[in-house]
Each structure stands twice: as C-alpha cells, then as structure tokens.
Amino acid sequence: MQQEFVQLIAQHQKLIHSLCSLYYQLPEDRKDLFQEIVLQLWKSYPSFNHQSKVSTWIYRVALNTVFARIRKDKAQPERVPFSEQEFLLPSSETDDDETQGLYRAISQLSDVDKAIIMLYLDEHSYEEMATILAMSRTNVSTKINRIKARLGKLLKKEPL
C-alpha cells in the first residue's frame, strides 16, 4: 500500500505543487503546505474507494487542506520576515511574461475562484469540478464565466 501511495504522489506531484504555488508565495510556506497535503492524502488513502478519478480525489483533499490552512493562518498574527527581499528565492520556473501575468491576476481572486480556475486550466470537466468543490454544475459554469470576465479586466489593467 505504501509503495502504491508513493507512486500516486509522484505521478500527481505537479498538481499539488501548482496548488501550493497558487495559494502561497513564500517557498517555505509552499513546502509546508505540500507536506500537509501529502499527510492528509496519506491519512485518507485507506478510505479512497476509486469511485472517482485519482486526480479528483487529490484535488478534493488538497483543496480542503488548503482552505483549512488559510483559515488557520488568518486566525494567527501575520508573520513578517526580517527583509522580504533577503528571503525570497528566485523562481525556478521558466514561465513567460504572459503566464506570470495570468498567475498574478489569478492571485487576486478569492480562494474558491482560484480553485475553480485552476481546475478549469487543468481541463477538468464541469462535473468533476462540481464534485471536487461540492457545488452544482450550474454554479461552477456561472462562476467560470464570471472569473473569466474578472481575469480579462485584471489582465487589461496590468501591462504584460
């Protein structure tokens, strides 16, 4: 079971890293969140019954973990590093300016809207998104249209 789980995480680690990057800017926070998500996946793995796709299950557990962490972080006083510039590591990603602009725009969305657009960009069906986020397909569809409009406005404001 353990080896099967490790293979599953290895196959889907990009999905988990993407979520961590979407919700947290500092590398340490991303690493902590990644570990927290993997721990929650491990705890829930025995009850995973393969009735849904593995990615759907991972998204559901990961997003629940992200939202729980965000609630916990909001309840604690804000942490401020000595000098933010000293502790920020350069990004190892080689995204182009347009991609970085899109991610900056996405970072301005609400937590739920970030999750929806992430699932949309990962080409999940509306039904899968509805299952993962525990909302109706119609609600997902409506939110996606509103998110696209909001992102369009945000991207027009920001020079790429």
Segment 87-132, tens digit of pLDDT: 554 554 555 677 788 888 898 999 899 999 999 999 999 999 999 9
- If asked whether residues 70 and 114 sit together in one domain, one would say no
pTM score > 0.75 for this model? no
Chain centroid to CA 147: 16
Could you tell me the residue range of the domain that residue 21 belongs to?
1-90
Q: Which of 24, 155, 25 is nearest to 98 (CA)?
A: 155
Residues 102 and 44 in one domain: no
Count of residues in the chain: 160
Does 32 share its domain with 83?
A: yes
Shared domain for 84 and 120, answered yes or no, is no
Instruction: For residue range 30-76, list pLDDT tens digits in order.
Output: 999 999 999 999 999 998 888 888 989 999 999 999 999 988 888 87
Work out how many domains the chain is built from and give that number.
Answer: 2
